[in-house]
Structure 1
Amino acid sequence: MMKHLSKIALLSAMALGSTFALAQDITPTRVGPVSQYGQLMTGKNSQGQGRIYGSCEGVKDGAEVQVRGMSLYWSLMPQAVEFWSEEGVSTMVNDMNIQIVRAAMATGNEDWNNGYQGYGSDPNTQMNLMKTVVEAAIKNDIYVIIDWHSHNANEQTEASKNFFKQMAQTYGKYDNVIFELFNEPTDIAWGTIKNYADQVVSVIREYSDNLILVGTPKWDQNPQVAIGNEVNDPKKNTAYTLHYYANSHCWSGTYDWGGTCEGTNGEQAINAGLSVFVSEWGTGTADGGGTPDQGRNQSWQEYINKHKLSWANWSASKISEGTAAFEGSSTKNSLQYTASGNLVKGYLATNPTSYTKCAANNGNETPIFVKTDLNFNVTFSGNALHIAGAPMTVEIYSLKGDKLMAIDNVSGTLSLAKLPVGKYFARIHGKSTNMVRAFQIK
């Protein structure tokens, strides 16, 4: 059965996506998809199929969120890194109508063509590139995927934990941010991937309850392997990635040699209730080359739209590859498109061109609904609720509307420090008072 939010829970979820914007250090310069949808979150529709929703409307049929945009190329070569910039992100927002950007950070000791080195050799440069893209996305009010772009992340566990700790501490409070822990595992057993992911998730959850993406075996083509053995996430906000290249992979059925199509694997995971996210796909072949096949790309788009899957296209670069979106003459301020880029730009043209802030955008200290005595007041500070007035009953709910605690006859200060880091709402009610207030534990 689908999880339905109560009216109070729904209103609170709507507020959470925008309530904390007032406390943020980076201010958006426009109203974009993040203001409208809020934090992305996993959930199931009324048929039990996995979907992605936004905190502004909560988990309910018709409120599924599908965002579409571009993936930056590995942060290693000048033809790619030029677009790892505020100007590059803003140009894609204005010219391509993107709703999401993926920052595919090189994680090891890579050093291509005397360009940039990966995080293992030059962490400061890579961190600065990532921060630039994340902050540009926040300013543009779009989503951003912080991608540990590795094929062997399970061998980089400590470095990954350190990186994501810093990212979650710095940016985990922003609804824009999505954490992708493992780009494309090679032929690695799911148990090995899960063991790595469990460790990194626990670090992120100390600071953020934002959406987490986890890769699956054989280059993200087997999300169904997580059925019944999901990543341990106390916030239950983890999705599994499906990657495809239209000229190489199939969306339905099986291959002539007997293997199951990647799209069939994704559909199996979705039907089992797992949320799936297409964090990378290409118009050509799996090696990044090839001329886009219009028919195969259209069939994949129909599959994606049927399941309301969010996506980031590979790649926002002028690398000499068939799947690169930009011609070599492009700059971060001016884009000229390849055949692949024009095709993808056409898909992105159907994204909304304007957005509306959450309806309950009332500010951090304004209750969503209040009928109160004049001598009654509730504030939140120092990870505690402060109640002035007659004793009240306090109920604490998760973002999805699950009741976590209920305490009668509360007056004065109620410590909430034992709650994990995340966003919640409190319902405070008594004989003549009924108030709901959103709050965040940091």
Structure 2
Amino acid sequence: MRFTSLLAAAILALPSCATIDPLQTERSQSGPLAAPTGSPVARHGALAIVGGKIVGEDGKPVTLRGMSLFWSQWAPQYYSAETVTWLAQDWKVSGVRAAIAARGENSAITHFDRELEKASTVIEAARANGIYVIVDWHAHTAHPEEAERFLTAIARRYGHLPNLIYEPFNEPLREGVDWSRDIKPYHERIVAAIRAVDPDNLIILGSPSWSQDVDIAARDPVAGTNIGYTLHYYAATHKEGLRAKADAARRAGLALMVTEFGLVEATGDGAIDLASSNAWWDWAEENHVSWFNWSITDKDESSAALKPGAGPSGWTEDDLTESGKLLRGRLRSAAAADAR
């Protein structure tokens, strides 16, 4: 935990820079900049994990609600200050997730500086709007050297901010992957590298079977402080059985965060299952489990929040898909309830 003086809701101002030097320890600082009055970061400050729950500086449970951006190499137009600001001000999100692509030739593995710049843009916009930001190493297979390099560069530059959250492995596969043999050692390596730079901010870990085997991870958890686990679901595919696994992990003491979910099938397409979506939302709210929807993109699939051709901000009802309309309404209602 940070000392009390650093746990105040103050975030250091960071001037913009066209080129990122990943070896620079952090940007030059022109003095403290308070989070906007009433913003999520102003209310909760630096987050911690206590007793299997994510809590704010006052020790009370915090439920973040937000949107995930799409794979960064395929929807770069939404990795913008405009998009983050619109989500914060119009959709009333308390957090955003930057899904930094770690797959294929056009990803952070081959275009490190370009993708680091995208993450930087999202982080700085989140800081300016007083919301939290997850930097997600968006991979289905392990790339430990590249993940360590990328996330420690983020930690060196932004680890002093209280709104930063790391997600080192989006969705490990199921086949041929074992938690204790394969995924836990990967996480131990990345956690140690991050903690050497940033001792405090939340790190949210993935588990096998596309981050659904949280009950297995709970039997052999990664040691350390402020370490939680992600749970991914798609409401039309995953229902009571996955919530039972999540409840088993929670009973074992794991703090969970849903960093990715959809209202539709696990393919990212198909019809919205509203009954299952509501059951998941009720479960998350009852248990103070944060949630981030997949995703802000204009891809022609039903999980996308935007219709094809939608710009980076200023969306009207005509720009939103059925999923986008439902999410915006849910986020705005939750923010209004929190404000009361």
The equivalent of 2:197 in structure 1 is: 207
- Whether the aligned pair in 1 keeps the contact of 2:271 and 2:302 (CA below 8 Å) is yes
Runs of 5+ in structure 2 lacking a partner?
15-28
Instruction: Tell me, in whole angstroms, the C-alpha distance in 1 between the residues paired with 2:13 and 2:67.
Output: 28
The equivalent of 2:207 in structure 1 is: 216
After TM superposition, give the deviation of residue 164 of structure 1 in Å.
Answer: 1.2
The equivalent of 2:85 in structure 1 is: 90
The equivalent of 2:58 in structure 1 is: 57
After TM superposition, give the deviation of residue 30 of structure 1 in Å.
Answer: 2.2
Pair 1:72-2:36 in alignment: no
After TM superposition, give the deviation of residue 16 of structure 1 in Å.
Answer: 3.5
When Rg is computed on C-alpha atoms for both structures, the one with the higher figure is 1
> Which range moved further: 174-183 or 300-309?
300-309
The equivalent of 2:256 in structure 1 is: 276
The equivalent of 1:4 in structure 2 is: none
The equivalent of 1:36 in structure 2 is: 43
The equivalent of 1:343 in structure 2 is: 326
**1:328 aligned residue (308, 318, 335):** 308
1:216-255 map, 5 Å: 216-233=207-224, 236-250=225-239, 252=240
Corresponding letter in the other structure for 1:306: E
After TM superposition, give the deviation of residue 35 of structure 1 in Å.
Answer: 1.4
Normalised TM-score (structure 1): 0.68
SS in 1 for 2:8: helix
After TM superposition, give the deviation of residue 22 of structure 1 in Å.
Answer: 5.6
The equivalent of 2:8 in structure 1 is: 18
**2:169 aligned residue (167, 178, 182):** 182
Instruction: Tell me, in whole angstroms, the C-alpha distance in 2 between the residues paired with 1:106 and 1:311.
Output: 20
The equivalent of 2:19 in structure 1 is: none
1:105-144 map, 5 Å: 105-110=100-105, 117-144=106-133
- Whether the aligned pair in 1 keeps the contact of 2:169 and 2:206 (CA below 8 Å) is yes
Corresponding letter in the other structure for 1:68: R
- Whether the aligned pair in 2 keeps the contact of 1:291 and 1:340 (CA below 8 Å) is no
- Whether the aligned pair in 1 keeps the contact of 2:165 and 2:203 (CA below 8 Å) is yes
**Which structure shows the higher helix fraction?**
2
Instruction: Tell me, in whole angstroms, the C-alpha distance in 1 between the residues paired with 2:86 and 2:47.
Output: 24
Number of aligned positions between the proteins: 315
Q: CA RMSD in A?
A: 2.1
SS in 1 for 2:183: helix
> Which range moved further: 141-150 or 292-301?
292-301
- Whether the aligned pair in 2 keeps the contact of 1:96 and 1:345 (CA below 8 Å) is yes
**2:97 aligned residue (99, 102, 109):** 102
Q: 1:319 to 1:345 in 2, by over 3 A?
A: same
Corresponding letter in the other structure for 2:170: N
After TM superposition, give the deviation of residue 349 of structure 1 in Å.
Answer: 1.5
Instruction: Tell me, in whole angstroms, the C-alpha distance in 2 between the residues paired with 1:51 and 1:350.
Output: 23
Corresponding letter in the other structure for 2:321: T
Instruction: Tell me, in whole angstroms, the C-alpha distance in 1 between the residues paired with 2:101 and 2:254.
Output: 28
Instruction: Tell me, in whole angstroms, the C-alpha distance in 2 between the residues paired with 1:29 and 1:303.
Output: 30
Instruction: Tell me, in whole angstroms, the C-alpha distance in 2 between the residues paired with 1:135 and 1:37.
Output: 18
Instruction: Tell me, in whole angstroms, the C-alpha distance in 1 between the residues paired with 2:264 and 2:61.
Output: 28
- Whether the aligned pair in 1 keeps the contact of 2:9 and 2:35 (CA below 8 Å) is no
Residues 362-400 of structure 1: CA distance to partner in whole angstroms, max 9, x if unpaired? xxxxxxxxxxxxxxxxxxxxxxxxxxxxxxxxxxxxxxx
SS in 2 for 1:175: coil
- Whether the aligned pair in 2 keeps the contact of 1:137 and 1:144 (CA below 8 Å) is yes
Runs of 5+ in structure 1 lacking a partner?
1-8, 45-49, 111-116, 253-260, 357-442
- Whether the aligned pair in 2 keeps the contact of 1:28 and 1:140 (CA below 8 Å) is no
After TM superposition, give the deviation of residue 227 of structure 1 in Å.
Answer: 2.0
After TM superposition, give the deviation of residue 295 of structure 1 in Å.
Answer: 1.1
- Whether the aligned pair in 2 keeps the contact of 1:146 and 1:179 (CA below 8 Å) is yes
Normalised TM-score (structure 2): 0.88
After TM superposition, give the deviation of residue 353 of structure 1 in Å.
Answer: 5.0
Instruction: Tell me, in whole angstroms, the C-alpha distance in 2 between the residues paired with 1:343 and 1:217.
Output: 29
SS in 2 for 1:349: helix
**Which structure shows the higher strand fraction?**
1
- Whether the aligned pair in 2 keeps the contact of 1:315 and 1:323 (CA below 8 Å) is yes
SS in 1 for 2:79: coil
Residues 249-288 of structure 1: CA distance to partner in whole angstroms, max 9, x if unpaired? 11x2xxxxxxxx1111111111111100100000101010
After TM superposition, give the deviation of residue 354 of structure 1 in Å.
Answer: 10
Corresponding letter in the other structure for 1:165: T
Instruction: Tell me, in whole angstroms, the C-alpha distance in 2 between the residues paired with 1:28 and 1:86.
Output: 18
- Whether the aligned pair in 1 keeps the contact of 2:9 and 2:43 (CA below 8 Å) is no
Instruction: Tell me, in whole angstroms, the C-alpha distance in 1 between the residues paired with 2:267 and 2:84.
Output: 25
Instruction: Tell me, in whole angstroms, the C-alpha distance in 1 between the residues paired with 2:312 and 2:232.
Output: 26
Instruction: Tell me, in whole angstroms, the C-alpha distance in 2 between the residues paired with 1:108 and 1:220.
Output: 17
SS in 1 for 2:149: helix
After TM superposition, give the deviation of residue 182 of structure 1 in Å.
Answer: 0.4
Instruction: Tell me, in whole angstroms, the C-alpha distance in 2 between the residues paired with 1:134 and 1:21.
Output: 12
**2:243 aligned residue (252, 256, 263):** 263
SS in 2 for 1:289: coil
